[in-house]
């Protein structure tokens, strides 16, 4: 008899049923510890967890995240560039609204993309996302006014990136169960590599060919990857449209574990991207040469590649929530104990590398935690609920950071304290979500 030994509590929602011969759970344990695979004519309850078709989906998903979240991971370099060039007459907080809106629109689209995905699959979403993301970047290459950057980069490109990001993550979740955190880590590493390559391209190409052609070069690179994604990303499920009901997005928040997970995502994300978007400016303010400061974001994203894969691999073995709690609290320690006192080049470089590693786990594993608490047939909607709430943090995080820098007369201490405090609250909510599932005792979950 075949038993699925994936995360506890996953069976009822992930397409498996409790083994009737197993012992009743003791007090404080989840209701399902050992589960038996469903056998039926439908394949929706069966997770291949491998095979050529499944791994091609992972490769296509990697391409999608390189071009979507990888682009968002790179926008910090444009904060610095816009402040000193096209938008130098605007305060940092106003420029940050473009970048915050871009991230917000990308994540806010999760419920819409999720509902369309659950009903129709990824095909139309991938085509939509490819067109609007590339079109937005091309229009940004022609922009010179604030409103033009806002519309092209903050709205148009972000709408396309949203369709790409959530199509890829939702599809991947339909193919894997036991290795779910690992494969989310693998596709998420595309975002990290994108966050290395795009800032490097910008730093090297802008002085040589100018801003406009640099943006076009990035857009053509993305287009090549998205052609691959359109041919490889597919869902394993049979999709059937259902009527739109607002309550289906709200109902998950009535579950204590899911509510705490969503709260954790919101607070942690509120502070998460402040170092990503301000590390170069903060390094320059501490005397780091501009040329070296421009590479802080690349260093952060390079270490994030390992941070997205290794903790995810461990999470599938010792518990995804367990690993998430460790890595999120580690991020808080790095912000409060290393970034705040860092003054010279070496500690700032060390912070960039270590912070990239520790936060990589969060970015890779949130979709896996949502899937762990969800029925795979409702994965799009439940992912949408989580990321919509999370998007509210991205909308306000950067402007608050910019305002705190201004309030601190150009210093970064207020921003750093806000970053550490919000991430600490988020980490504590991850503990609460785990506690809602199995109490405080040690368990693989």
Distance separating alpha carbons of residues 29 and 8, to the nearest angstrom: 9
Instruction: Report the run of H or E that residue 3 belongs to, with start and end.
Output: strand 3-4
347 close to 338: Cβ distance less than 8 angstroms: yes
Distance separating alpha carbons of residues 382 and 380, to the nearest angstrom: 6
pLDDT band of 35, cuts 50, 70, 90:
very low
In a 3-state reduction of DSSP, which class is residue 386? helix
Distance separating alpha carbons of residues 255 and 247, to the nearest angstrom: 13
The structure's pTM equals: 0.78
Quick one: CA torsion of 241, 246, 248, 253, rounded to 10 degrees? 150
Which residue, 323, 333, 390, 397, is CA-closest to 361? 323
Give tens-digit pLDDT for 305-363. 899 999 999 998 999 999 999 999 999 999 999 999 998 899 999 999 999 999 999 98
| Cα–Cα–Cα angle for 253, 258, 262, rounded to 5 degrees | 80
Say whether pLDDT at 33 is over 90: no
Q: How many Å separate Cα 241 from the centre of its chain?
A: 27
Highest mean pLDDT among 90-94, 221-225, 238-242: 221-225
Which residue, 25, 45, 46, is CA-closest to 34? 25
Which residue, 100, 61, 299, is CA-closest to 182? 61
Distance separating alpha carbons of residues 149 and 141, to the nearest angstrom: 9
Helical segments of 155-243, H only? 157-173, 180-232
Per-residue DSSP letter, 44: T
What was the pLDDT predicted at 29? 42
Per-residue DSSP letter, 177: S
Give tens-digit pLDDT for 236-268. 888 888 888 888 889 999 999 999 999 999 999
Q: How many Å separate Cα 256 from the centre of its chain?
A: 22
Which residue, 183, 197, 200, is CA-closest to 225? 197
Say whether pLDDT at 157 is over 70: yes
Q: Which residues pair with 260 in a beta bridge?
A: none
Compute the average pLDDT of residues 60-89. Answer: 86
What was the pLDDT predicted at 44? 53
Determine what percent of the chain is predicted with pLDDT higher than 70. Answer: 89
């Amino acid at each position: 008899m075949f038993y699925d030994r994936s995360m506890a509590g996953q069976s009822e929602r992930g397409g498996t049923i409790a083994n009737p011969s197993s012992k009743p759970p003791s007090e404080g344990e989840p209701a399902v510890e050992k589960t038996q695979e469903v056998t039926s004519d439908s394949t929706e309850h069966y997770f291949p967890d491998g095979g050529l078709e499944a791994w091609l989906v992972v490769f296509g998903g990697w391409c999608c995240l390189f071009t979507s979240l990888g682009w968002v991971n790179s926008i910090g370099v444009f904060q610095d560039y816009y402040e000193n060039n096209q938008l130098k007459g605007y305060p940092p907080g106003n420029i940050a609204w473009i970048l915050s809106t871009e991230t917000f629109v990308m994540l806010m689209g999760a419920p819409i993309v999720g509902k369309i995905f659950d009903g129709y699959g990824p095909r139309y979403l991938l085509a939509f996302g490819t067109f609007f993301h590339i079109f937005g970047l091309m229009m940004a290459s022609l922009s010179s006014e604030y409103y033009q950057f806002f519309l092209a980069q903050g709205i148009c490109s972000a709408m396309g990136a949203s369709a790409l990001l959530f199509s890829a993550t939702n599809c991947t979740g339909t193919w894997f169960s036991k290795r779910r955190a690992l494969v989310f880590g693998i596709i998420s590493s595309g975002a990290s590599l994108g966050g290395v390559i795009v800032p490097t391209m910008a730093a090297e190409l802008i002085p040589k060919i100018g801003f406009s052609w640099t943006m076009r070069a990035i857009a053509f690179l993305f287009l090549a990857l998205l052609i691959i994604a359109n041919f490889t990303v597919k869902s394993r499920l049979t999709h059937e449209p259902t009527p739109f009901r607002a309550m289906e997005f709200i109902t998950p928040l009535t579950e204590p574990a899911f509510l705490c997970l969503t709260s954790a995502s919101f607070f942690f994300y509120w502070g998460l991207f402040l170092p990503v978007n301000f590390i170069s400016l903060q390094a320059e303010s501490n005397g780091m040469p501009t040329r070296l400061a421009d590479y802080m974001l690349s260093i952060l994203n390079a270490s994030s590649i390992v941070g997205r894969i290794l903790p995810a691999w461990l999470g599938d073995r010792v518990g995804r929530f367990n690993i998430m709690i460790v890595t999120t609290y580690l991020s808080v320690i790095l912000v409060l104990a290393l970034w705040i006192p860092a003054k010279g080049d070496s500690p700032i470089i060390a912070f960039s590398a270590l912070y990239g590693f520790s936060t990589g786990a969060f970015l890779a594993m949130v979709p896996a935690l949502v899937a762990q608490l969800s029925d795979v047939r409702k994965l799009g909607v439940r992912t949408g609920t989580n990321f919509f709430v999370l998007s509210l943090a991205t909308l306000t995080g950067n402007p608050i950071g910019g305002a705190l820098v201004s309030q601190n007369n150009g210093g970064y201490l207020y921003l750093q304290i806000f970053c550490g405090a919000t991430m600490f609250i988020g980490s504590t909510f991850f503990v609460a979500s785990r506690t809602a599932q199995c109490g405080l005792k040690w368990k693989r979950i």
